[in-house]
Amino acid sequence: MLKLVYPACFYPCEEGGYTVTFPDLPGCVTEGDTLSEAVDMAIDAASGWLLEYVEDNKQLPNSSNIKDVVPNEYENGFVSLISVDLDEYSKKYANKAVKKTLTIPAWLNTIAEEKNVNFSQILQDALTRHLGIKQP
């Protein structure tokens, strides 16, 4: 079970809502129209950022101590901890491919190859249709 906690800096926007940055996750920035939405968006943004690191076999960054994080980009900023359940997030959004071996008749393979069929895409389309899954 991979649960992680990172500090997030929340900054009120002049037009309303909040911008959220993560000192430990470079380039991970999001926003929300309300504080509640900003927290949800922060969890989603951090989860996606971290999942990409895991899928690329990179070492996850260490989390800063919240006491050491000072929101200094804008006035009235504050720091809060964001909890990420990477296992749960990856079940929903991971794009890691899984290799499958299958058997089809040789004549069908020949015709499909002549027509430059993408076997992986056809199988994905057929499985999502068969299982009633709506692709994002």
What confidence score (pLDDT) does residue 46 get?
94
Q: Which residues pair with 4 in a beta bridge?
A: 84
What confidence score (pLDDT) does residue 74 get?
63
What confidence score (pLDDT) does residue 1 get?
57
DSSP H or E segment with residue 36: helix 35-55
Question: Is the pLDDT confidence value at 99 over 70?
Answer: no
Q: For the residues 81-93, what does the mean pLDDT come to? A: 86
Token pair 């996850």 in the structure block, residue? 60
What confidence score (pLDDT) does residue 131 get?
82
CA angle 19, 23, 28 (to 5 degrees): 55
CA angle 10, 15, 18 (to 5 degrees): 15
Task: For the chain, give every domain's residue range.
Answer: 3-93, 97-136
Distance CA 25, CA 7 (A): 10
Q: Which of 7, 6, 9, 28 is nearest to 71 (CA)?
A: 9
CATH 1.10.1040.10 fits 3-93, yes or no: no
Percent of the chain with pLDDT over 70: 92
pLDDT tens per residue across span 14-64: 889 999 999 999 999 999 999 999 999 999 999 999 988 888 888 899 999
pLDDT tens per residue across span 120-136: 888 888 888 888 877 65
